Amino acid sequence: MEAHSSSQRGDEVKEVRWGILGPGSIARTFAEAVKRVPGCSLSAVGSRSFERAADFASKHDVERPHGSYLELVNDPDVDAVYVATPHAFHCEHAILALRAGKAVLCEKPLALNARQAEAMARASREEGLFLMEAMWTRFLPAVKWVGERVRAGDWGEVKFVYADFGFRSSFDPASRLYDLRLGGGALLDVGVYPVSFATMLLGEPESVSSAAELGLSGVDESSSYLLAYANGAQALLSSSIIVATPQEARIVCERGWLRLKAPFFRSTSVEVHSGGEVEMHDFAIPGNGFEFQIEEAAARIRAGAVESSMMPHQESVAVLRTLDRIREPWGLKYPGDEASE
Ligand SMILES: NC(=O)c1ccc[n+]([C@@H]2O[C@H](COP(=O)([O-])OP(=O)(O)OC[C@H]3O[C@@H](n4cnc5c(N)ncnc54)[C@H](OP(=O)(O)O)[C@@H]3O)[C@@H](O)[C@H]2O)c1
């Protein structure tokens, strides 16, 4: 889907000038990566506090710190905004940037729920401006190769996908991981990786069953889900913020199976077991891994596209619909679920 706006016409904007909205932990990874991507620069950063913006700007060599998100999105020297606030604010902040005429790369998950993700996709289409979920894993060479080969049917149809993403953190009700108001819990923070991985390979599931261990602050600290697809395929996935898991992914097809070595979301090595043989495929990740998604976003922005075929709007919406269905039987609701967009 192509659309054009004055701020992203390919012939006018060669360099994509990025602004970071929310200078927290992941924003640092983005700041390091964006400078290594040809045709991109980091020109501004916006925080709720000018001091935090200025501190980030001085550490990461960013020209213009802004003391509010509104100032950042109205900066005429910014073409694209990287939204790096907690999940509960992705919708509000991405729409703020789109309505101000900026392209958006938004951290995962795209929103708190499917309804918010739909609203973001609508705003992107209405403004004719690019929007993509920063599901960086999809753009890495190993994951991209696996996705292409499996979808092409190299080993026949997929029968099973197994994947997990768990890590150990200490309980802290003030941290975004444990705060229900910020969309805390394992499912949205790390469960989105295996769900997005299964969606890339199999599409949206027909049925969903799940179990969760809810913690003291009400968020899911560990959760598992079984997704079943119309063609009979099944995905068995789990996530945790209280225990480290193997972080591996395996894909079982009719004529062989693949293992993405841990961590599967940053894998550099894929084992293919087929016909009694084992083949190893190695892939390099220069930099911190964020460069690939930034490259894709910048290329699509220059082309005047509103989305990327590698992480299209409706696939992010489908992932969130699945996450909504997974948590529904747990009675897990975020305060932001009730709010209008
Ligand atoms: N792709 C990845 O590998 C990866 C890894 C980690 C996290 N993430 C994603 O990135 C997003 C941010 O995660 P993070 O770990 O960077 O979080 P973080 O360190 O807590 O930073 C979030 C930033 O958002 C801003 N913010 C705005 N409203 C806030 C509020 N009410 N409470 C807390 N912060 C607020 C804060 O900046 P100011 O107050 O200064 O404006 C804060 O620095 C999440 O959606 C997460 O899923 C992605």
Say yes or no: CB of residue 48 within 6 Å of ligand 1. yes
Handedness of CA 213, 203, 247, 135 (dihedral sign): negative
pLDDT in tens, 313-339: 999 999 999 999 999 999 999 999 987
Do 201 and 147 form a contact (C-beta atoms < 8 A)?
yes
Q: How far is the CA of 200 from the centre of ligand 1 (A)?
A: 25
Q: How far is the CA of 23 from the centre of ligand 1 (A)?
A: 7
Q: How far is the CA of 91 from the centre of ligand 1 (A)?
A: 13
Query: Which residue is listed with tokens 């975004």?
Result: 176
pLDDT in tens, 269-309: 999 999 999 999 999 999 999 999 999 999 999 999 999 99
User: What is the structure's pLDDT at 120?
Assistant: 98
Instruction: Report d(CA 244, CA 207) in Å as an integer.
Output: 27
CA angle 201, 281, 163 (to 5 degrees): 40
pLDDT in tens, 18-42: 999 999 999 999 999 999 999 999 9
Residue 9: is its pLDDT beyond 60? no
Instruction: Report d(CA 249, CA 143) in Å as an integer.
Output: 10
Domains and CATH numbers, the chain: 6-137 (3.40.50.720), 141-284+321-338 (3.30.360.10)
User: 261 an active-site residue?
Assistant: no
User: What is the structure's pLDDT at 8?
Assistant: 47
Residue nearest to atom 4 of ligand 1 (CA): 26
Residue 6: is its pLDDT beyond 60? no
Say yes or no: CB of residue 87 within 6 Å of ligand 1. yes
Residue nearest to atom 7 of ligand 1 (CA): 26
User: What is the structure's pLDDT at 341?
Assistant: 46
* Active-site annotation holder among 14, 35, 59, 108: 108
- What is the three-class DSSP state of 181? helix
